[in-house]
Every structure is written in structure tokens, then in C-alpha cells.
């Protein structure tokens, strides 16, 4: 079961824009309730296994702008967006973190989320974990993952394996797991219930009058125009594209003003033996300093090893030939800074900006130093931090030198977690949508993706996105889309 190509004129009771973690789960709930659902996706359907993970081919076929997008600032922050059926669930590492209970309670309190029971959301998370087969790896951990575990254990830092949404059809061979992304789980389930998925369809704007949207103006893959009529619309394009679409449709309010991300800095570490796993990531993470700071491992194919050395290429390029003995790791922070998504007339993509606070910059500095120390404890021979002017590190004395030289403005800062551009809740001064995702001031326009999360959760947000999307979609079914 797969998708159909979008056509010039389509209609549905419910239009869902986007097919990722928010869109796919929303479509499943509504279709299984008997509603007429049409999902539209700007990208195409790419079967798992058709492209090599973390390759240039994957970036071209499944990422927006080939994976090269940036939030402007000092420093600018590179970010990635999935642009394919299944969205970001098709290209991420499949690591799963359910939303922390204390964070849910804080969101409820500070953003006045109505009729919200954190226990209900965690119960929905239980359902999601069964549907996407969240589990630990069945066999031995990879060498890059063991490096994180052993370094943290040596330092006495809290650490553990993060489960993944994977199946392992080849027994305990963890390197041959199959990610249970939306194209493997919720999208087939939605389509089995009667939902349609049309790919190659960009929604340019919604036709809105007096708070009611009646149609979506689209551009098809061949550049021809199209139009979709509907009764209700769920915007699920992600934390960048959803607010941009609303703005292009003349909807502003508190839309796109509070982008929250988890900025990361990285390093490459070289060891005595071969450790590189080109097409997977470590499953261990270090949470000793959570929720403010955490450590994990990145994809580390030869090209990404070279990229991690690029900031100080003049002195670090000598190491690239040792890529089989190297792996890339990151330090991620929960940022106090915020960004903006701004749609500009006659431009296809929005302008995205982000401002790190002084605290964020210092936390990145200390995070990179602590990550370097962890690598040394794991018996790294040499560590190569990713910032301009960085010295290589071989011992603890070098860590202090490196920390002193670090400036966030010199570093390659990036993120893969974006949220909070249409925060949910009843505090209209700060929230773009109500407690169930209906855009404030609109009758039939909903957001149901990472945009709704009130703040950055400090962990991978996709579990939170799926749980909230299912909660909100069930409320829509129960009320027939009427405001209660």
C-alpha cells in the first residue's frame, strides 16, 4: 500500500497537510473513526531500504533543500527537515523518549492547557510504543555506543540505552534493524481505514474568510496549480512549515514567534581500534546533566567524519584517513533562546532566525568540554572538537585549553529538534492554538505537530508529538469538530 500522485482538483471532509509524526497519527485516528480523510505531502514516497541512511542520496530524496537549511543568527544554527512521506520519522535515528511527566505538568500549569491529564497522555504513549514496536536492541551494542557507556560509567555519570522504534528480523544483529517509521506503521493503517495520501503536493496557502478556511491552493510536482476543498484542515507540516503556511494564509497572532530547538555542538574522537559504524547511531545517551545538557552519538560515515573536521581542516585533515577508528559525538542543550519563522511575500521558504542567550553559549562551552572528558575516559587517543581554531585534545590538560578557546560563534551549531512555533494552551498572549490544537481565532483550522509543544522538551520530541496528536484527534472525533 502506497500513495497516489496529487491531482489538480481534490476534495475531502478532512484535509491533513503533512504525513509525519503528527499528520500520520492524526489521519489514523480520524480515518478509523469513519471520516473522509485526505493527506497531502510535498515530498514523495520512498521505500525504506531504497536509499542508504545518512547518504547524499537520502538527503536529496528525503530532506528539504538537500538537508541544507539554517536558522540565521550569531551563530547560525543548521537544521534538517524531512520532506517525504512519513516526514522526519523516515530520516531520524528512531531513538524514543516519552514525554517527561514533570514537564507535562509544567506545560499544563504555565500554558493553561484545558482538560489535560498527563496520565492520559502517558497512556497514549503506551499505545504508540506498541504500534511502532519500541524496544531495546536484541544483541550486543555497537562500538560507538559502548564508548558512551564506558566513558560515562568511568566518570560515574548517569547513562543508559535509549529504546528505538525498530524490528529486528535478523535476530540479534542490531545493525540490520528496520525502523518502524510512519510509512511502516501509521500511514498504512490510516490508508487501510480509507484515508488517501497524495504526494507531490505543496500547499501554498489556505483560502480563509472570516475565520473559516474553505480550500487550499496547491502546486503539484510538475509545477501546475491545484486546489483542494474541505470542511476542516489539520496543518501538520512541522515547526517551520506549519507557521509559515499559516502566515502565508493571512493568519498571524502568536504564530512563528517562539521557535525552540536543542542546539548541539560536536566532536570527532579517534580510538586505537576500528569503531566506525557508517550507517547507524549509538543507542546510549548520557543524562547526568539533564534536562539542560545531554550527550549522544551521531552518524559517522566517512563524509560526516570529514564534515566534523572541516572547521579546523588545516590541522585536522590529517585525521580523516583514520575514519575507521573514529566516531562523531554531540553535546545537546535545552536552550533558553528563541527563534522566529517569518514568511516573506514571493519567497517559497520562510526566513528562520534564532538567538542563543549568554547562558546557552556557556552551556555549549561546558558541554563540549565535558563531552571531551568523557571521550578521554573512554580511552580516545585524540579528540577533534568542531570549531574554528580548535586544538586537538589528548589529555585532561588539553581540555582546559580547548574550553578556553571555544566560542559558540566559532562552532558548527546544529539541531534536529524543532518545536514550539504555535504553542498550545489558553493563554492567548503566548499561545497560537487552543488546548486541542485549533488555531486561536479560527473555526476549522488546526495544528497537530511539533509546533504545538509549548517548549523544547529536552529529549527527542517525536513521542510527545504523536501522543498529543492522537489526544487532539480523539477530541475532534468526540466533539465533531465543534468548540466546547
* Final residue of a structural domain among 415, 437, 469: 415
- For residue 291, whether the previous peptide bond is cis, meaning omega lies within 30 degrees of 0, is yes
**Residues in the chain, overall count:** 484
Note the pLDDT tens digit of each residue in 205-233.
999 999 999 999 999 999 999 999 999 99
CA distance 235 to 244: 11
What is the structure's pLDDT at 165?
Answer: 94
Is residue 175 pLDDT above 90, yes or no? Answer: no
Residues 6+ apart with CB under 8 A from 438: 445, 446, 483
| Strand partners for 376 | none
169 in the same domain as 140: yes
283 in the same domain as 245: no
- Is residue 206 assigned to a domain? yes
CA distance 310 to 388: 9
165 in the same domain as 89: no
14 in the same domain as 108: yes
- Is residue 296 assigned to a domain? yes
Instruction: Report helix, strand or coil for 97.
Output: coil
435 in the same domain as 322: no
Sequential DSSP letters for 380-436: -SEEEESBTTPPPB-SHHHHHHHHHH--GGGB-EEES-EE-SS-BSS-TTT-SB-TT
* Rounded (10°) CA dihedral 209, 212, 216, 217: 10
When pLDDT is cut at 50, 70 and 90, the band that residue 172 belongs to is confident
Note the pLDDT tens digit of each residue in 81-102.
999 999 999 998 889 999 888 9
Is residue 484 pLDDT above 60, yes or no? Answer: no
141 in the same domain as 118: no
CA separation (Å) from 201 to 18, 33, 59, 244, 465?
10, 25, 19, 16, 23
More confident of the two residues 105 and 99: 105
- Is residue 315 assigned to a domain? yes
CA distance 459 to 454: 14
What is the structure's pLDDT at 14?
Answer: 98
- Is residue 18 assigned to a domain? yes
341 in the same domain as 445: no
Looking at the structure of the chain, the number of domains it has is 2
What is the structure's pLDDT at 49?
Answer: 82
- Is residue 24 assigned to a domain? yes
Mean pLDDT of 334-360: 96
The average confidence (pLDDT) of the chain is 95
- Is residue 55 assigned to a domain? no
CB neighbours of residue 211 within 10 Å: 12
Q: In what order do the strands lie in the sheet with 212-220?
A: 9-11, 225-229, 212-220, 201-209
- Is residue 53 assigned to a domain? no
CA distance 87 to 44: 10
Is residue 264 pLDDT above 70, yes or no? Answer: yes
Mean pLDDT of 426-450: 97
272 in the same domain as 236: no
382 in the same domain as 465: no
170 catalytic? Reply is no
Note the pLDDT tens digit of each residue in 453-469.
999 999 999 999 999 99
- Residue 22 backbone class (left: φ over 0; alpha: ψ -120 to 50; beta: rest): alpha
Look up the CATH number of the domain holding residue 447.
3.50.50.60
Is residue 346 pLDDT above 80, yes or no? Answer: yes
369 in the same domain as 355: yes
Active-site residue (options: 232, 254, 417, 440): 417
When pLDDT is cut at 50, 70 and 90, the band that residue 58 belongs to is confident
Could you identify the residue written with the cell 549568554? 358
What is the structure's pLDDT at 282?
Answer: 94
Domain that holds residue 211: 4-45+84-132+181-253+421-479
CA distance 293 to 336: 12
- Pull the grid cell for residue 80: 534538517
189 in the same domain as 159: no
* Final residue of a structural domain among 415, 441, 463: 415
Look up the CATH number of the domain holding residue 319.
3.30.410
For the whole model, what pTM was predicted?
0.96
- Is residue 64 assigned to a domain? no
Mean pLDDT of 164-172: 87
Could you identify the residue written with the cell 518502524? 180
Residues 6+ apart with CB under 8 A from 214: 207, 208, 229, 230
CA separation (Å) from 282 to 64, 68, 79, 149, 328?
25, 23, 20, 10, 10
* Final residue of a structural domain among 380, 396, 415: 415
322 in the same domain as 432: no
Is residue 240 pLDDT above 60, yes or no? Answer: yes
What is the structure's pLDDT at 483?
Answer: 58
Amino acid at each position: 500500500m502506497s500513495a497516489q500522485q496529487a491531482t489538480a482538483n481534490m476534495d475531502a471532509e478532512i484535509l491533513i497537510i503533512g504525513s509525519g509524526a503528527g499528520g500520520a497519527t492524526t489521519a489514523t485516528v480520524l480515518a478509523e473513526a469513519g471520516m473522509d480523510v485526505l493527506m497531502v505531502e510535498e515530498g514523495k514516497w520512498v521505500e525504506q531500504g531504497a536509499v542508504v541512511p545518512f547518504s547524499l542520496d537520502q538527503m536529496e530524496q528525503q530532506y528539504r533543500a538537500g538537508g541544507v537549511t539554517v536558522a540565521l543568527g550569531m551563530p547560525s544554527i543548521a537544521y534538517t527537515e524531512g520532506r517525504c512521506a512519513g516526514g522526519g520519522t523516515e530520516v531520524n535515528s528512531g531513538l524514543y523518549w516519552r514525554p517527561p511527566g514533570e514537564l507535562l505538568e509544567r506545560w499544563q500549569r504555565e500554558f493553561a492547557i484545558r482538560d489535560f491529564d498527563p496520565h492520559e497522555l502517558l497512556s497514549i504513549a503506551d499505545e504508540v510504543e506498541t504500534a511502532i514496536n519500541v524496544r531495546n536492541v536484541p544483541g550486543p551494542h555497537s562500538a560507538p555506543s559502548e564508548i558512551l557507556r564506558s566513558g560515562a560509567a568511568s566518570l560515574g555519570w548517569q547513562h543508559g540505552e535509549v529504546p528505538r522504534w525498530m524490528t529486528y528480523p535478523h535476530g540479534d544483529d542490531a545493525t540490520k534493524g528496520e525502523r518502524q517509521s510512519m510509512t511502516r506503521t501509521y500511514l498504512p493503517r490510516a490508508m487501510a481505514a480509507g484515508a488517501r495520501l497524495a504526494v507531490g503536493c505543496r500547499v501554498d496557502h489556505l483560502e480563509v474568510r472570516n475565520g473559516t478556511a474553505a480550500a487550499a491552493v496547491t502546486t503539484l510536482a510538475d509545477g501546475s496549480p491545484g486546489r483542494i476543498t474541505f470542511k476542516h484542515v489539520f496543518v501538520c507540516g512541522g515547526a517551520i512549515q506549519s507557521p509559515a503556511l499559516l502566515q502565508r494564509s493571512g493568519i498571524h497572532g502568536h504564530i512563528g514567534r517562539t521557535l525552540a530547538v536543542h542546539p548541539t555542538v560536536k566532536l570527532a574522537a579517534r580510538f586505537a581500534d576500528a569503531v566506525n559504524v557508517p550507517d547507524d547511531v549509538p543507542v546510549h545517551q548520557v543524562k547526568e546533566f539533564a534536562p539542560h545538557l545531554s550527550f549522544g552519538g551521531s552518524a559517522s560515515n566517512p563524509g560526516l567524519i570529514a564534515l566534523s573536521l572541516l572547521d579546523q581542516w588545516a590541522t585536522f585533515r590529517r585525521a580523516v584517513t583514520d575514519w575507521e577508528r573514529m566516531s562523531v559525538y554531540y553535546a545537546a542543550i535545552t536552550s533558553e533562546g528563541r527563534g522566529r519563522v517569518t514568511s516573506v511575500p514571493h519567497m517559497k521558504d520562510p526566513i528562520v532566525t534564532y538567538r542563543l542567550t549568554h547562558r546557552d553559549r556557556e552551556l555549549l562551552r561546558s558541554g563540549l568540554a565535558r563531552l571531551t572528558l568523557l571521550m578521554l575516559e573512554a580511552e580516545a587517543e585524540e579528540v577533534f572538537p568542531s570549531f574554528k581554531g580548535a586544538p586537538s585534545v589528548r589529555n585532561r590538560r588539553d581540555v582546559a585549553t580547548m574550553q578556553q578557546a571555544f566560542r559558540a560563534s566559532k562552532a558548527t551549531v546544529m539541531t534536529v529538534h524543532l518545536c514550539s512555533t504555535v504553542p498550545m494552551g489558553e493563554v492567548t498572549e503566548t499561545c497560537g492554538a487552543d488546548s486541542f490544537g485549533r488555531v486561536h481565532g479560527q473555526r476549522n483550522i488546526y495544528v497537530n505537530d511539533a509546533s504545538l509543544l509549548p517548549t523544547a522538551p529536552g529529549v527527542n520530541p517525536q513521542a510527545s508529538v504523536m501522543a498529543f496528536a492522537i489526544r487532539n484527534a480523539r477530541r475532534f472525533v468526540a466533539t465533531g469538530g465543534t468548540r466546547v
